[in-house]
Amino acid sequence: MSEQTEPIRASGSVVLDETDRLLLAHLGRDGRASYADIGLLANLSATAVRRRIDRLRSRGVVRGFTVVLDPEVLGWQTEAFVEIYCRERTAPEEILASLRQFAEVVAAWTVTGDPDALVHLRAADTRHLEAVIERIRREPGVQRSRSSVVLSQLIG
């Protein structure tokens, strides 16, 4: 008989019931909400809420709590998303590999749908942003691109 202190994590799939989802959704909206308040939403006592959240922590689902700061104040800069349309016989991976060199590229994904790839940019200002987008458009494998400047980050 083996002693079991850690909950066994079935590879990658932790099961959440509907109540867990309610609690997490509420905590997502207000990470400092009291357990009693959260409980009102789910018809649970504060104790039950706390136990469920503790369990979610120990299972690693909840990594912690944090403050959400306004991107501008954080010193974040001008952001944009650029959809990349690849030229024939060009793999998006090739293009994105060459985009790696740009510090302005925060993230990039290959996607299904009309465009082949989506690139998340961050630049000092619109001038800087324009220059980066221009360089991306001039990449050999890029047929065309479509840009959206981020006005504000409302979630995330």
Closest to a second copy by CB, 29 or 89: 29
Binding positions for a second copy, 62-91, rule CB under 8 A: 62-70, 72-75, 77, 79, 81
136 binds, among a second copy, DNA, none (CB under 5 to 8 A by kind): none
Taking CB under 8 A as the binding criterion, the range among 18-26, 43-51, 133-141 that sits at the site for a second copy is 18-26
Residues of this chain that bind DNA (CB under 7 A): 19, 34-37, 39, 43-48, 50-52
Q: How far is the CB of 1 from a second copy (least distance, A)?
A: 14
The residue assigned the tokens 């120990």 is: 58
Query: Which of 84, 80, 156 has the alpha carbon at shortest distance from 121?
Result: 80
C-beta contacts of 58-66 below 8 A and 24+ residues apart: 58/7, 59/7, 59/9, 59/14, 60/9, 60/14, 61/14, 61/16, 61/20, 61/24, 62/24, 62/27, 65/27, 65/31, 65/32, 66/31
Instruction: Indicate the residue among 41 and 106 with the shorter CB distance to DNA.
Output: 41
Closest CA to 106 of 154, 31, 61, 156: 156
48 binds, among a second copy, DNA, none (CB under 5 to 8 A by kind): DNA
Shortest distance, CB of residue 65 to DNA, whole angstroms? 11
- Contact between 38 and 23 under an 8 Å Cβ cutoff? The reply is yes
- By the criterion CB under 8 A, which residues form the site for a second copy? 9, 11-14, 16, 21, 24-25, 27-32, 59-70, 72-75, 77, 79, 81, 92-93, 96-97, 99-103, 105-115, 117-120, 124, 146-156
